[in-house]
């Protein structure tokens, strides 16, 4: 009976350690997003947070850099860039449509290349 108990405890320990190894994979990213003001910051960060798996977002007004922590098992970096572009802000890979860009408030209209 003791041997059966010991075997059971060992198997439970193995299964619980395997379950702990399957934690989500979070990755840190930095990329440029065009914008000008505090209104842009709120819009950009809200769009990024709308993507599943986004854990942390901070867009810097001065250098236009967006810092992001993302669970890559739930979505991709490209998904975040598309969400930001969909609210009118160009990224390094995805550009906002002209229609959406033109609907931004006048102070948010940044210089486009």
Q: Domain 24-108 is in which class?
A: alpha beta
Per residue in 78-88, pLDDT (tens digit) is 999 999 999 99
Q: Locate the domains of the chain by residue range.
A: 24-108
Mean pLDDT of 76-101: 97
Determine the pLDDT at residue 19: 47
Per residue in 35-62, pLDDT (tens digit) is 999 999 999 999 999 999 999 999 999 9
Residue with tokens 């990024």: 48
| Listed residue (80, 100, 103, 101) closest to 92, CA to CA | 80
SS (H, E, C) the chain: CHHHHHHHHHHHHHHHHHHHHCCCCEEEEEEEECCCCHHHHHHHHHHHHCCCCEEEEEECCCCCEEEEEEECCCCCHHHHHHHHHHCCCCECCCCCCHHHHHCCCHHHCCCCC
Q: How far apart are CA 67 and CA 83, in angstroms?
A: 15
């Amino acid at each position: 009976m003791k041997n059966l108990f010991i075997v059971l405890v060992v198997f439970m320990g193995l299964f619980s350690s395997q379950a702990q190894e399957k934690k989500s994979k979070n990755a840190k990213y930095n990329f440029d997003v065009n914008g000008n003001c505090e209104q842009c910051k709120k819009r950009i960060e809200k769009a990024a947070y709308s993507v599943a798996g986004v854990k942390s977002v901070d867009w810097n007004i001065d250098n236009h850099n967006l810092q992001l922590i993302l669970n890559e098992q739930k979505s991709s970096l490209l998904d975040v860039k598309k969400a930001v572009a969909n609210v009118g802000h160009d990224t390094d890979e995805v550009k906002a449509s002209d229609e959406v860009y033109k609907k931004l408030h006048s102070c948010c209209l940044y210089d486009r290349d």
